[in-house]
Amino acid sequence: MAGDDTNDGARRIHAAIRAVPPGEVAGYGEIARRAGLPGRARLVARLLSTNDDPNLPWHRVLRSDGRIAFPAGSDGFVEQTARLRAEGVEVVHGRVVGRTPRPRSLDEALWGPPG
């Protein structure tokens, strides 16, 4: 993505992050898919790493396996854990528990994950 495309992608990613309700979480890849940018999970991570909007609920975005991406014990890890817990999300050893990943496709929703 270049120029205006980059800005449009960032706008769509930020909108997808804002759409995650309090008490819920989504993976980087899921955010990219919701933004219409499948396969761009790293773009989501890059945008979050440079985020300066204090109202963006960045803490609701996790790795695909439900883990917090920050190193354990780091300031970001501690803050994300605290924010998630304040919304009623259970976090144990840096992983959100009690949540099942959303299906990536209709086939996965109907038949389960591949393999």
| Higher pLDDT pick, 113 / 15 | 15
* pLDDT at position 84: 97
N- to C-terminal Cα separation, the chain: 32
How, if at all, do strands 95-96 and 61-62 pair?
A: unpaired
Integer Cα distance of 41 and 38 in angstroms = 8
Q: Using an 8 Å Cβ cutoff, are 90 and 54 in contact? A: no
Over residues 15-49, the pLDDT tens digits come to 999 999 999 999 999 999 999 999 999 999 999 99
* pLDDT at position 34: 94
- For residue 63, give every residue at least 6 positions away whose Cβ sits within 8 Å of its Cβ, in sequence order, or none: 27, 28, 69
17 alpha carbon, distance to own chain's centre: 7
- pTM, two decimal places: 0.82
What domains can you pick out in the chain, each with its CATH number?
Answer: 4-111 (1.10.10.10)
* pLDDT at position 1: 45
CA distances 95 to 34, 42, 53, 64, Å, are: 22, 20, 25, 11
